[in-house]
Structure 1
């Protein structure tokens, strides 16, 4: 099989090393072409971008196209982003995955306008990958496609849409996110929506009520995320439900709940938190000690002092810190 040389208008101006490698991109052996792409990428010469894009679009070997997709992660050029988006439709699963990974590594908000054009594609994998690429760009125009994707039939697409809205922190998304947190059929979507509500105001009763409902969700992962978000918001009305969550069947939920109670600074939670100092799980004992330090209640000092000989050095350190915080605050 003969492979046509890849077009490069200014090839005559390239160093000899690059020219030799470009010639290898026409080799009949796909392994040779793939290694040539890898070595060309090491030159970090933007003049080579057309060769990488052409390899991604045109090379008959999936391994070469996959390598081109990976190489292009280092470049943020409109033609590159367009080619990577097009590669999401590649016939080969590994090529599509490599293109999606490269799109997820974009950092320049200016890349958002290219991704935006692909956000409404009918293929779930394309929609998910494009939304994932938009997630960290904070590209304001991503709001509408992300909002539109919240009722998508694919849970993976809904999760990425939620992530975009969480990064944008646009208050218009709060009500739809709260509805998703309460009503989506997929636990991973509910969990993502609960986490995305972390930019709400703690005085917003609709959001706090949605988070309190999530604290009672059937899936422990959702309850865990709800406790975390309530702590971030410092929603004081959540104190009693969080105290109740200290008895959750899953220690992961209890850990997040005790951490959240420390963030709420509600001294009335001190006795419930102090009871965890004798828990069998050392991480819970440590978090309980740290939370007691934040709560600052002198009533917790006897329990902390009694636990000073804990068998875990990290727990003992947390207890000493807590005692110092409480005594320092009350002197």
Structure 2
């Protein structure tokens, strides 16, 4: 903003005077007031505040920039991602994640391919929401980089955010890398993210093989995600592995397997799903009923009619819906 603009506006004159105060708290509140004006013309003043000596002032400036979608704001926030203070870094990452205009990606992309891992991770998180195809390149490059012998938290976050970008974009060239991470990454959260990202690969048998392997993962959360993703693939051949998952030690995995078997219309799963209708966990009984309704096999009707009197109202509702679905499928 030029000085003439400030001189024309008494409110801005007062804020500018407070921005020059020797009292950090006065400067912080001035920055917040400036952000409340939500005027992109004030971007230069807020970017300047990102260089304040006091972290609290810099953090306030980063938050105030969340509504400013212009090159100066985005590049200032990207640089603030490497601020020595964690509060400032978090504020900058938050504001970048609020970007809505795909055009902002052009200012973010240069920061995605090089620099500290925490900066690149935050940039990729912002790019993920923008869903710009150009972000696939730097995201895939992250997955192809050699990993250090021991992961840092920032390195793990970087891989996870790169996976998120590729999954959102449904980037087919990334499937081999995602499949590899799904079965071999040493970090549970990364394997789980990769498993979830594979769900878009409907016709890819390599992805299905990786997901079936993930159903045997040591982490039940990874197995749970794999059971969900296999249903989304809509590959009937996945039913065999999902039937095994119906006996998983964790009911959460069984629940997702039941849901996916319903999506696959797997008639071979009717008997084990009928058994699941008697499980002590009501959520699993509910999913089994819904799956049986989707499959539409009339042999399930007697058990579903019993389930229609289940003590749990959600199970009763699901069983009654399944009965209607089966009746409709058979012209009743």
TM interval, short-chain normalised: over 0.9
Aligned length: 323
Which one of the candidate residues 107, 111, 121 is aligned to 1:118?
Answer: 111
Number of the residue aligned with 2:283: 283
State the TM-score, normalizing by the size of structure 2.
0.93
Distance 2:57 2:46 in 1: 10
Number of the residue aligned with 2:152: none
Deviation at 1:215, TM superposition (A): 1.1
Distance 2:328 2:226 in 1: 32
Number of the residue aligned with 2:14: 20
| Structure 1 segment 1-331 matched on structure 2, within 5 A | 8-12=2-6, 14-56=8-50, 58-152=51-145, 153=147, 154-202=155-203, 204-331=204-331
| 76-85 or 29-38, larger mean C-alpha shift | 29-38
Question: Is the Cα–Cα contact under 8 Å of residues 36 and 64 in structure 2 kept in the other structure?
Answer: no
Distance 1:38 1:238 in 2: 54
State the TM-score, normalizing by the size of structure 1.
0.94
1:63-114 CA distance string (max 9 Å, x none): 0100010111111111101000111121211101111111122222111122
Question: Is the Cα–Cα contact under 8 Å of residues 286 and 319 in structure 1 kept in the other structure?
Answer: yes
1:196-226 CA distance string (max 9 Å, x none): 1111123x22111111111111111111111
Question: Is the Cα–Cα contact under 8 Å of residues 139 and 162 in structure 2 kept in the other structure?
Answer: yes
The unaligned stretches of length 5 or more in structure 2 are 148-154
Q: CA RMSD in A?
A: 1.4
**SS of structure 2 residue aligned to 1:28:** coil
Structure 2 vs 1, CA of residues 162 and 14 (structure 1 numbering), >3 Å: closer, same or farther? Answer: farther
Question: Is the Cα–Cα contact under 8 Å of residues 8 and 50 in structure 1 kept in the other structure?
Answer: no
Question: Is the Cα–Cα contact under 8 Å of residues 202 and 232 in structure 2 kept in the other structure?
Answer: no
1:12-41 CA distance string (max 9 Å, x none): 365322321222111221111111221222
Question: Is the Cα–Cα contact under 8 Å of residues 38 and 68 in structure 2 kept in the other structure?
Answer: no
**SS of structure 2 residue aligned to 1:136:** helix
Question: Is the Cα–Cα contact under 8 Å of residues 117 and 158 in structure 2 kept in the other structure?
Answer: yes
**SS of structure 2 residue aligned to 1:22:** helix
Structure 2 vs 1, CA of residues 99 and 14 (structure 1 numbering), >3 Å: closer, same or farther? Answer: farther
| 243-252 or 7-16, larger mean C-alpha shift | 7-16
